[in-house]
Structures are given as structure tokens and as C-alpha cells.
Chain A
């Protein structure tokens, strides 16, 4: 294994470990639906070869589920002096830097699973669609505090478009 991408002097804030459960349950529900759906041709036709579709899907999902804890631990963010730094991804690593002044709006979303364990998802939206900074698995209080902090920072560093 060669060296992974890493930025100099970073002190990542990680998301709540409870998010592992949320992600696992969410993936599991989706996996069950997908596998059952994919096995319909096999049920209908009684052709043994059609079982290959749900079978391969199941293997992919099992790998995904197995890697979930590590993937969640790879999510991190950091409030630097002038920009928000965000990272996620294990195999496909992605680092994003957004200057605070570029903020157009901040969303806080709570899905049913998130609510059950008291987590929120924070989305930072800029004028560029590609930005895609979504920080999942933040405890509710922390998410709201982060949102207010981001709005405050954006206000003090306001820039045009």
C-alpha cells in the first residue's frame, strides 16, 4: 500500500460513532430491498442462473457493510481560519475546501434513523453544484452550533458571487 493523501497540519473533527449504526441500518434496509427485487426474475423463471444477480449484489453489500465503520471514521471536517475543510472516503478519498464567504445557505436535515439516535446532517451549499459538502452524523446540538458558527463566519467574510 502506498502512502495515502494527507494534508499538512490538520486536526480533523470526526463525526459521532453513532452514525455507524445509522449508516449500517440504512444500507441494510436498502440492501434487503435491492436483493429481493433482483431475485424476482429467478422466482418467476425458475432459472438457476438468474440467482447470480441477487447473489453478486449481496456480496457487494456485504463488503460495503463490512467497511462502513472505517468509512464513517474517515469522515472529518475542520474549521480553518478562512475556510471549511471537509474529507470523506476510504477507497475514493475526497478533500474539499470551501471559503466561508462562498456560503449561499446551510441546510440541516434529519432522517428518521438520524432522529432515533439524535443525529443531524449538515449541508453547506455554494453557487457551484459540484461543491457537495455534506457532513453527516453530527449530534443535534453540535450541528446547530456549527450552523450558527458557519453563518457568523460567512457574514464576517462576505464576498460576492
Chain B
């Protein structure tokens, strides 16, 4: 873990600092009256004052611990950040080199002649090993320096309206995201980072890769920051308070805005830096233990209860009965057929990498699905994934644009379902990783699927809509509340014409498709962007038409084909009117401002 001295040009946060013969005077904060010792106050800093004054007698915790990070000041990331980021890259580079060395090892082990064009053989033959080693060490030192510098230059702040990140050494970037446009907050804890008690906080706003990443923060600091950001985003300004027992755990470094006199700070540099490092050590040692024992710690101290329990057997079964397995079986059968006919041993060489690839795919899917949890919080749905590397994402209300409940044929005997969603942001770190973070339920039975649907579609709780949802999933069709395709559509929908139809609930449109691969699409009308009604020359002869509900891009396509022409026109008109109605009454972008207090 790298040490954390104070940068020149910055001072520790004023209200917590040690009484000093020459107290640093940050111009931005200081009024003429407050020129005595440590009495500077900003309105936003009042919350953290209580904790700060309590500990201000000892110099140790001061620059590290601020109760809250969302105070509008600039902060640094976790001091282990360079190691975590660089360490991963280092392992990757090492891996590449080892793979490149494969021939070399094989020659070494089997005592082969060695390829003289192989660079490693060449280096050893020409006695350049020392120079190469020196170059490697030099490059290593250089990159460590660069990582440290980039950590120093990487700062963030969260104000009441926005989150802002500055980073980069030569090419500076400054990214701001508006809090009321947040589409989701994701806390990712890669395995390596978990050992250090660190976590990555990702704030997603709408758009391709439009996320503000804070990598890495202290694990508890990340949880606390998420809570604060969600409160700010919810429209309750000034409601952020520091909960008991969380002060002093935030391992991030306060920094005063640039432009303060560098001269006054030099005297204070030594004390907080050394004290800070030892405090970090102590804090992180216990944090690692906590972290590994309880990685899914909720932001509100008591973790929300997951409504769905994942069973080992079900995860294994769903993997074995997935489309990938079918593909694999077909591949193996074809390969062995060719093998017996041709009798060539060539593809034995291809088998080993294939087995490794397939095995790692299954392992990844398996470990990630195993610790799945989904829970309701006041600030939206929280979805957790992952065994070794965990990811825990909060989707505020009204951020889900379409929902797809589907059941492949092989899952039907077991009654398993999968749920995917469309959302406006796409995350770079595949949050749930392995599965894109659009899969909100990897596998679950009917009851699980219903619970998840109730969470992600809060408007769909009344009995009638729940009945419709279940019919949409399991019904074979017929006159059951859905308006289905007419019999003449059987030309186009051989098996599913009885089931292929739509229904309305109060705030959403339900599209039911497929008899073999059963699918139910739910589109909340308040999120609908536009819709189209289409008819080609051939379906016109059958007096059929298709309707598409356009939402933001994602795995769910809300298109219903081969429905009766008059029904299609009616669906079009009703949804067009309903979308406007729902959008006007929708207040979910400031979900707490409307109703209940915190």
C-alpha cells in the first residue's frame, strides 16, 4: 500500500485539522471573522464536524476520515488504487509473456533444439539476459511512478447536483454527471480489490459508456457514498446525514480546491501523512476481514433481504440445459464423427484449448450466478452477483425501460425463467460480469420470477396485473385476457398463433410471444420512446400487421408480429395515448421528492 503524503498546494480539511501555530488558510473557505484556529465552517461540512471534533485531539485520523464524501469538496481515491489497477495490468502482461514463452518452455522441457528465431532463445544465446532484466526493472519503476502520479492527479467531488471526476497526467479529463440523471449505481469488488478492502463505484448515466467511475474507494466508503448519492439524486436536498458507526471508515483523502497557497501547507505535511498511513494499515486489516466475511453489506447498515434464493442445483441445471450446452453437444458429436471417419489426430491439439475455454465459461457463469441476490431498497432495486468478484448494483425507480421474461424449451420441465431488462446506460465493467448487467434474474422458478417482476415493475402490484403476468408466461393461449392473433396467422406463427398477443395493465403493455421459446415482454408506458405500426405486402394479404414499441437499446425487443390488422391499429392508438398519459404523471426521476420522508 502506498503512502499518502499531502500534495503540495493542498491542505487538510480545515475543520478537522490540528491546532497549528500557523493554521493553513484556504482562501475559498475563509471569512475575515474566522481567522482564529480551527473554526472554519462551511455549511456542507457541518455534518462531518461532529465526528471531526471528537477525534481532533489525536492527529492520526484527521486527513483520512471524513464522515461523508458527498460534501462538495475534492477527494482522492483509495491509496491502494495504483496497486489494484497496475497489479491487474501487470498480471495480464505476465500472462501474455508466459503464453509467448510457451514454445520456449516446451523446448526446455523436451530438450528440443530451440528455434533460433524465437526471441527468448536468441536473448539467452547472445548473453543479453542482464540487459533485458535491467530494461524490465526500469520499465517497472517507470510504470510504478506513472501509476502513483495518476493516483495523485485523480480526484473527485460530489455536490448536490452533480458528480465530477478529474483525472489524467498529460491528457487531463474532467467528467461531470448530473445526479438526477443517474440510471444506476454499481459497486464492483474484484477479487484482488476485496483483499485490500477496496471497491469500485460506478455511477451510470444514460448513454453508451457514459459512466463516472470511482476506482477504487474504501469498501465502506463506497457503500456510504452510494447511499448519499442516491439520497441527493432522489431530490431530498440536505437530507444526507452520517449514520452511526460509519464515521472514520471512509479511506479517502480530502483535498481543498486548487489555487490555495502552497507555502502555508509545507509545515503541516509531515504529521498527518505518517499518522494517516498507520491508520490506513490498521483500518484496512480489519476491513479485509469484514469485507471477506460480509461482502454484500448494504448501505443502510442492515443489508436488505434478498427476495430470491439461488439454489446450487438450479444454477448447475440451468447451465447444463442452456443453449451453449446444446451447441457444445452438437459440436462434440460432429467432431467425433469426423474423427472416426478421417482418423486424423490433428484436432486433438484443438481439444485442449477448447476444454479450457468451455470450462472457464461454465465456471464463470456458475460462480457469478451462485451468490445472486435481489432486494428492494427505498432507492430502487438492488441486484448482487458474484462469488469471488462481486458486483452490487442499485437501479433507482423508473430506470427500467423494458422487461423480458423468457423460458427456453429445455427449462420448461423444471419451470425455470430468465429475466432481462433494457436500460439507458451500458456499463463498461460488465457489472454482473459474465452475464451482461442486463440480466436481472439468471434463473428462477415462477414464484421467483413473479417476485422479481414486482420489484422491477412497481406499478404492477394489483391482483389483476399479476394474473395477467402469469398468464403471459405460462398460458397456452386462447381467450384469457390477452388479445391474440387470429387463426389465419398460423401461416406465419405455426405453433404460437394462439399465444401470440398483447394485453394492457394500468401502466404497462404486455406482449406475449412464442410457444416453444416462451417470452413475455413488459414495457412500462412511461418509458416508451415511440412506437411503430408496420405492414408489408405479404402480411397485407392476410390482413395482419406488426407493432413495435421502441425503447432504449438493449437485449429486449418489444415487437409483436402477425396480429390482426384492426387489433394492431387499436393497440397503436391506445398505447400512443397511454404513453403520453403515463409520461405526464411519472415522477420517478425524483423518486423521493414526491412522497415519503427518508
Contact = CB atoms under 8 A, between A and B. Distances in A.
A45 interface: no
A95 interface: yes
B471 to A, nearest CB: 27
A102 B529 contact: yes
Among B181, B532, B534, B568, the most chain A Cβ lie within 10 Å of the Cβ of: B532
Interface in A98-142: 98-99, 101-102, 126-133
A47 interface: no
Interface stretch (A18-26, A33-41, A57-65, A86-94): A86-94
Nearest to B529: A128
B424 A94 contact: no
Interface stretch (B114-122, B149-157, B413-421, B544-552): B544-552
B583 A99 contact: yes
A92 B536 contact: yes
A149 interface: no
B271 interface: no
Given A7-B569, A97-B572, A131-B550, A157 B537 contact: no
Given A97-B576, A99-B583, A160-B398, A126 B530 contact: yes
Interface residues of A, number: 32
A22 to B, nearest CB: 25
A112 B394 CA distance: 49
Contacts, number: 108
A101 B581 CA distance: 11
Interface string B68-85: 000000000000000000
A4 B540 contact: yes
B580 A128 contact: no
The 8 closest A-B pairs by CB, nearest first: A128-B529, A128-B550, A98-B530, A82-B580, A160-B589, A97-B576, A159-B583, A95-B533
Interface of B: 181, 183, 206, 398, 424, 526-537, 540-541, 543, 545, 548, 550-553, 565, 568-569, 572-573, 576-577, 579-580, 583-584, 586, 588-589
19 contacts: A3-B543, A3-B565, A5-B540, A7-B573, A97-B530, A97-B532, A97-B572, A97-B576, A98-B529, A99-B579, A127-B424, A127-B552, A128-B529, A130-B548, A133-B530, A157-B580, A159-B583, A160-B586, A161-B183
Given A83-B580, A128-B529, A161-B552, 13 more contacts: A5-B545, A83-B576, A96-B531, A98-B530, A127-B552, A130-B530, A130-B550, A131-B530, A157-B584, A159-B584, A160-B586, A161-B181, A161-B424
